[in-house]
Structure 1
Amino acid sequence: MIRIAIPNKGRLHEPTISIFNDAGLHISGGAESRKLFAKTTDPEISILFARAADIPEYVQDGAADVGVTGLDLITERGADVETLLDLGFGKANLVLAVPEDSEFQGPQDLEGKKVATEFPVITGQYFEKLGVNVEVIKVTGACEMTPHVGIADAIVDISSSGTTLMINRLKAIDRAFSSTVYLIANKESLKTKEKILDIKTALESVLNAKRRRYLMMNVPESSLQAVKEVLPGMSGPTVMKVESSKSSEDSILAVHAVVDADLIFTIVNKLKKVGARDILVVPIERIMP
């Protein structure tokens, strides 16, 4: 049996449920964050719902074989786990911020000052790398208030849009750490439970598919070479003859290719200019490596 720890609530909960569902590991009652355990469509895989901050330790200690949580939490806990895959969502930055009216312009200006944070390990590593000596003060909440009540001169805190900083009359002067959500595994479990790599492959196939689109089009045979030059497919386009073509002079070919989603707008317009028609753009559910 493989146990996967995933966030029980918060901004990481729903995206985690979604990617597992897309990978074919549907979670029973996934939206019910009060549950502690859940089953999946695979009888050998179960789910443990936990606080995102606790998941690195659960995986390290073997309470879970696999976990999904933020890289910031993994790093802050110093968890001895195997990082398997960057899942690409839950993006957040830990920023160094100071009061708006402060004269501090960069981290070097904070030599000998006090910095409040909920992430003392990451903050200490950040300033140590810069060679700046500060006093790191650990807080458990309301970090944004500490400069205004004389507890600290600056903070290191999570910022996604910057709105919270602005509301609290703070300004970011540097980025201390960037984080996304990762799939992690217990090192001993990884050695003995092969299905963990199957879980990684399934999630990776979903990520690969989200970055690609499947193109289908009809192309006159005389335009085929020009179309091939436009298409940057994964391994070249698939070309098939359309049997309904009336004669060899106007023979029509069906051309299929997988392309990067970010290139669709440009590629489709180029394809039309070189003779492709009846172009279909189709989302892909999974791409297995």
Structure 2
Amino acid sequence: MSKLKIAIQKSGRLYEESLQLLKDCGIYVNNGKDQLKVSVDNFPLEIMYLRNSDIPQYLEDGVVDIAIVGENLLEEKYKKIEIVHKLGFSKCRVSLAVPKEVETDRLDYFQGKKIATSYPNTLKKFLQENNISAEIHIISGSVEIAPNIGLADGICDIVSSGSTLFKNGLRETVTLLSSEAVLAKTFTLSDEKKAFLEKLVFRIKAVLKAKNSKYILMNVPNDKIVVISETLPVLKSPTIIPLAEKGWSSIHSVIEEDTFWEVIDKLKDNGAQDILIIPIDKMVI
């Protein structure tokens, strides 16, 4: 039986989170020291650890079937690759930054200026779309130092917290694009491998849904059940269990992390008491 070949960054910000995602999906990887290719025993999957910048080309050529990679890299490389699912981690943005003493945030500051970057294709496309003519200096690493040594008037680079910019006397001005880790695939998958991919995506969705959801239990007066139920953004309907104390029931449901405190406030205002929140390991819907 053939196996689905997945590429993962062999080092760097995506490595640990990619492996953790696979582990959460029930796929256990026993890495030997310095192994660049590992076969998984409990799922038809073979993992290849590659340099981040090489992954898009390997995908386009069909050397690997799928990969966990940053959207920003796919945008930069312009490869014929399909994004299967966004993964919600390793979020960052590709942004322009200038020395902190520059007072304007306007894009036209860069008109006729020099910009240092590791993302020349992304930057060139953005500048053309906004009718900005600038000189692009391609740097493979340590882009932040360019303005300090007089090589450029600003930079274009990935930004997460902004701490690296701050340490180098720079500040972010314009965001070109937002990025996160994605599961991407080649266009040359066989029917057998498409079936394997569907199973993997099913597991990934269950894991990601659980991470963004909480199981909630609360005690509610019976005359408040209807209004409380209407407040809960449930999958279908909440579970309602009568309590030993007359006139009270326990309501069980699921709420999303993004709206957690907003929902909790409404529940308390509508009479919910003894609210208990439990993390969810997996969520299959």
CA distance in structure 1 between the aligned counterparts of 2:58 and 2:211, rounded to whole angstroms? 30
Deviation at 1:228, TM superposition (A): 1.5
Deviation at 1:180, TM superposition (A): 0.7
Counterpart AA for 2:205? E
CA spacing shift, 1:37–1:110, aligned 2, 3 Å:
same
Structure 1 range deviating more: 233-242 or 265-274: 265-274
- Pairwise mapping of residues 63-212 of structure 1 onto structure 2 (< 5 A)? 63-102=63-102, 105-189=105-189, 192-193=192-193, 194-212=195-213
Deviation at 1:273, TM superposition (A): 5.3
Counterpart AA for 1:195? F
Counterpart AA for 1:279? I
Q: What is the CA RMSD across the aligned residues, in angstroms?
A: 2.4
SS of match in other structure, 2:28: coil
Deviation at 1:88, TM superposition (A): 1.1
Query: Which residue of structure 1 aligns with residue 254 of structure 2?
Result: 258
SS of match in other structure, 1:188: coil
Counterpart AA for 2:18? T
CA spacing shift, 1:177–1:261, aligned 2, 3 Å:
closer
CA distance in structure 1 between the aligned counterparts of 2:268 and 2:123, rounded to whole angstroms? 53
The one-character-per-residue Cα deviations of 1:191-230 (angstroms, maximum 9, x if unpaired) are 5521112212211111111111112234443432233233
CA distance in structure 2 between the aligned counterparts of 1:276 and 1:169, rounded to whole angstroms? 50
**Identity over aligned residues, as a percent?**
30
Counterpart AA for 1:20? L
Unaligned ranges ≥5, structure 2: none
Q: Is the 8 A contact 1:8 1:33 kept in 2?
A: no
Query: Which residue of structure 2 aligns with residue 19 of structure 1?
Result: 21
CA distance in structure 1 between the aligned counterparts of 2:171 and 2:97, rounded to whole angstroms? 5
Structure 1 range deviating more: 94-103 or 41-50: 94-103
Q: Is the 8 A contact 1:96 1:157 kept in 2?
A: yes
Query: Which residue of structure 1 aligns with residue 276 of structure 2?
Result: 280
Deviation at 1:266, TM superposition (A): 4.4
CA distance in structure 2 between the aligned counterparts of 1:45 and 1:22, rounded to whole angstroms? 15
Q: Is the 8 A contact 2:221 2:272 kept in 1?
A: yes
Deviation at 1:241, TM superposition (A): 4.3
CA spacing shift, 1:255–1:105, aligned 2, 3 Å:
closer
CA distance in structure 1 between the aligned counterparts of 2:155 and 2:123, rounded to whole angstroms? 9
Unaligned ranges ≥5, structure 1: none
CA spacing shift, 1:84–1:148, aligned 2, 3 Å:
same
Q: Is the 8 A contact 1:33 1:49 kept in 2?
A: no
- Structure 2 residue 54 is the aligned partner of structure 1 residue 58: no
Q: Is the 8 A contact 1:60 1:80 kept in 2?
A: yes
- Structure 2 residue 8 is the aligned partner of structure 1 residue 6: yes
CA spacing shift, 1:217–1:111, aligned 2, 3 Å:
closer
CA spacing shift, 1:225–1:115, aligned 2, 3 Å:
same
CA distance in structure 2 between the aligned counterparts of 1:55 and 1:45, rounded to whole angstroms? 17
Structure 1 range deviating more: 223-232 or 50-59: 223-232
The one-character-per-residue Cα deviations of 1:65-102 (angstroms, maximum 9, x if unpaired) are 11001111111111211101111111112221222334
Deviation at 1:13, TM superposition (A): 1.1
SS of match in other structure, 2:146: helix
